[in-house]
Amino acid sequence: MTRVWRRVLDRELPVAVHAEGAWIETADGSRYLDGAGGAIVVNVGHGDGALLEAMRTQAERVQYVHGTMFTTAALETYAEEVADLLPIDQARIYPVSGGSEAVETALKMARAYHLARADDDRSVVLARETSYHGNTLGALDASGKLPLRAPYAPWLGRAVHVPAAYPYRVPMSGKQHADATERAIEEIGASRVAAFIAEPVAGATLGAAVPDDDYWPAVVEVCNRHGVLVIADEVMTGFGRTGRWFGVDHWGVRPDLLTAGKGSTSGYVPFGFAAASGQVFETIASAGGFVHGFTWSHNGLGAAVGSAVIARLRDGLLDRCVVLGERLRKELDAAIGEDPNVGEIRGLGLMIGIELVADRRSKRPFARADHVTERVVAAARDQGLLVYSSTGHVDGTDGDLVMLGPPFCMTDEDVATLAERTAIAVRSTT
């Protein structure tokens, strides 16, 4: 009996006692290869000395001060450093405690921006089907992940969803996506749309689906033309995960707003931020400011770790992500690329998705009752491998996806182990 309301209620959870590099050890002496960095979070790796030192140093200086009363050197330094890396002009960052808060903050920034320009009718959020932006109500409303929305449907319904950028099952060109986005904007009424939010590369909900190269430039052009702010949700793709600093860097587009979380501190401290362009910031600031705030926002500890993460990525880990990503893809392709139940292996950098199907030619998904994803995850766990997963993406019920997103500090041997155990898990259950 436990007093913890655990995330998982149908099985006992092992007790994690130590983590180092790409491995997690449990109280019973087992070792798990962290093939997904938890939920694609631990970019740098576990037990990194530089990150731990940054935490210790900042915790000894200042533990907590309120964002309306103080700033800290750690936060000011971090903002300077990250602003130089962000694909945003004259960026300003608003630090929060995680991805959902970052998304809520960015949505409110978009609304505040339009209000500041006396464009009061702009409130509608445009998002994509089969997307994920968080579990708080505003972020969930933007999310197109049906199984997560279903229980809370009475509280949702303001956001409008356009097709997912998912070439495997949604064969639309960038131009067709842009046209669909424009049609949605016109149907809602261009003067009512506040923002378009999307993941640069789809996260777990679509297993690292990568849009075609003409997608982002075309969609951003339509949004710009209609005065709709573009929010790049980089909570999963940010901080090197796709082999570039940020996902949109692959296509050279510059959003108005951007959200970050997960990899920003590699999971060492709950942290994230919403970033706005200088123009968005100045507009809101000059009209009286931003009505928003959280007790834990503007946290110096998260900022200090964030600076250490940037230093580690600069120090070779970002390059290592590219090299290891290519190697892992090659090994997976060789091992299970032709497996009759592997529909597609996709992704960028060390953000890799494996879509499992009952029939490769027709792309027919397994029936949900077969619990294929759950069996693959369990088979991986039995071999000491942790993977991330998602179900229901095809129609809200069926659809099986497994995701890999390991730490960038993996050794060559870890990569081989990861590919080998993933292949065994996939083969053993399909």
Tell me how far, at minimum, the Cβ of 236 lies from ligand PLP, in Å: 4
Instruction: Answer whether 425's CB lies under 8 Å from 376's CB.
Output: yes
Distance CA 103, CA 142 (A): 9
> 377-389: string of b/e by CB count within 10 Å (b at 16+)?
bebbbeebbbbbb
Nearer to ligand PLP, 203 or 255 (CB): 203
Instruction: Answer whether 350's CB lies under 8 Å from 325's CB.
Output: yes
Distance CA 218, CA 11 (A): 46
Residues that bind ligand PLP (CB under 6 A): 39, 98-100, 103, 132-134, 199, 203, 233, 235-236, 261
Tell me how far, at minimum, the Cβ of 133 lies from ligand PLP, in Å: 5
Tell me how far, at minimum, the Cβ of 369 lies from ligand PLP, in Å: 26
Tell me how far, at minimum, the Cβ of 201 lies from ligand PLP, in Å: 9
Nearer to ligand PLP, 35 or 430 (CB): 35
Nearer to ligand PLP, 98 or 349 (CB): 98
Tell me how far, at minimum, the Cβ of 288 lies from ligand PLP, in Å: 29
Nearer to ligand PLP, 366 or 388 (CB): 388
Tell me how far, at minimum, the Cβ of 135 lies from ligand PLP, in Å: 6
Nearer to ligand PLP, 161 or 327 (CB): 161
In the complex, which residue's CB is closest to ligand PLP?
99
Nearer to ligand PLP, 103 or 402 (CB): 103
Instruction: Answer whether 342's CB lies under 8 Å from 328's CB.
Output: no
Nearest to 112 by CA among 339, 267, 261, 287: 287
Tell me how far, at minimum, the Cβ of 334 lies from ligand PLP, in Å: 29
Nearer to ligand PLP, 178 or 201 (CB): 201
Cβ within 8 Å of residue 393, ≥6 positions away: 130, 145, 205, 206, 207, 399, 401
CA 230 to each of CA 3, 200, 233, 242, 284: distance values in angstroms, whole numbers, following the listed order: 43, 11, 10, 20, 16
Instruction: Answer whether 345's CB lies under 8 Å from 239's CB.
Output: no
The tokens describing 191, both together, are 């003067």
Tell me how far, at minimum, the Cβ of 231 lies from ligand PLP, in Å: 10
Q: Is 11 exposed, middle or buried (0-12, 13-18, 19+ CB in 10 A)?
A: exposed
Distance CA 341, CA 426 (A): 9
Edge-first strand order for the sheet with 124-128 is 92-96, 272-276, 257-260, 229-233, 193-198, 124-128, 160-162
Q: Is 345 exposed, middle or buried (0-12, 13-18, 19+ CB in 10 A)?
A: buried
The SS3 of residue 94 is strand
Tell me how far, at minimum, the Cβ of 107 lies from ligand PLP, in Å: 12
Nearer to ligand PLP, 143 or 422 (CB): 143
Nearer to ligand PLP, 131 or 307 (CB): 131
